[in-house]
Amino acid sequence: MYEIHAIRYGHLDRTATHNFIGGDPHDGPMPLDYYVWLIRGDAGTFLLDTGYDLATGTGRGRALVRPVEAGLAALGVDPASVRDIIVSHMHYDHVGNHDLFPLARYHVQDDEMAFCTGRPMCHAMMRAPFEARDVQAMVGKLFAGRVVFHDGESQLAPGITLHKVGGHTRGLQVVRVQTRRGWVVLASDAAHFYANWQQRRPFPIVDSVSAYLDAYLTIERLASSPAHIIPGHDPLVLARYPASLPGVPDIVRVDLEPVD
């Protein structure tokens, strides 16, 4: 059994039309939040994604609400104590802060490294959400013996499994975690918002639309119920789950029952 904390670190105000393939006819405000997820239990402490730092966020016009290291510190986590980091995919908002975790191994899908170091990056549209320095840093970690590759589905620890779904990027993986309320699926960018998944309207950064749609079926199959699926960028996650700490509304326990 694990506890899972969704730790917000960034924010972007924008409208709905930017969040769906084909836009949105209503186009009201639909901001994104940016999270990393801490998974903690008897088998150890695991981190899903590492966020972006101030320089990268500023360069892309994204607010850094709280540095990732500060969010972890609030939960009593020293970055040097993190031994396993799951990389959902290599986009800039999931794999920055390269030097923050000196002792961690990084768990990446084969297809994701091939995607971000290969032919698809010849296209400006495909490489836009990647930072070359993030990819270079991961290659450096590979040659330092700190990358663990996965292909498809694998178990990281008892009660924690990785599942490649693709769609958004070639090697996007989601994480299934055993909790007291059942199997929770951290969907990352397989579902930016509840609406992307529930309405079968993918986010407009895509490698394969059909794989993206299939990913919705996969996360539904892996989760104990639809209420066990945690989107990757939805501010509603903060509204629906109880705060991990008193007085800190943007770090929440998604292993507990929703409050809303």
Task: Give the binding site for Zn ion (CB under 5 A).
Answer: 91, 93, 189
Encoded amino acid at 169, one letter: T
Nearer to Zn ion, 178 or 187 (CB): 187
Nearer to Zn ion, 84 or 93 (CB): 93
Tell me the β-bridge partners of 109. Answer: 150
Tell me the C-alpha to C-alpha distance, in Å, between residue 87 and each of 53, 58, 90, 198.
Answer: 16, 22, 7, 24
Instruction: Specify the residue for token string 């409050």.
Output: 259
Contacts (Cβ under 8 Å, ≥6 apart) of 144:
none
3-state secondary structure of 71: helix
Nearer to Zn ion, 93 or 111 (CB): 93
Q: How far is the CB of 246 from Zn ion (least distance, A)?
A: 29
Q: How far is the CB of 216 from Zn ion (least distance, A)?
A: 16
Residue nearest to Zn ion (CB): 91
Write out the two tokens for 49.
């994604």
Write out the two tokens for 33.
């939040």
Contacts (Cβ under 8 Å, ≥6 apart) of 176:
160, 161, 162, 163, 183, 184, 185, 186, 222, 223
Nearer to Zn ion, 112 or 255 (CB): 112
d(CA 235, CA 249): 11
d(CA 138, CA 129): 16
Tell me the C-alpha to C-alpha distance, in Å, between residue 62 and each of 31, 126, 192.
Answer: 11, 20, 16
What angle is formed at CA 121 by the lines to CA 50 and CA 213, rounded to 5 degrees?
70
Q: How far is the CB of 90 from Zn ion (least distance, A)?
A: 9
Q: How far is the CB of 46 from Zn ion (least distance, A)?
A: 19
Q: How far is the CB of 180 from Zn ion (least distance, A)?
A: 28
Q: How far is the CB of 37 from Zn ion (least distance, A)?
A: 12
Q: In what order do the strands lie in the sheet with 153-157?
A: 153-157, 160-164, 173-179, 182-188, 229-231
Q: How far is the CB of 23 from Zn ion (least distance, A)?
A: 19
Nearer to Zn ion, 5 or 91 (CB): 91
**154 Cα distance to chain centroid:** 17
Nearer to Zn ion, 93 or 250 (CB): 93
Nearer to Zn ion, 104 or 187 (CB): 187
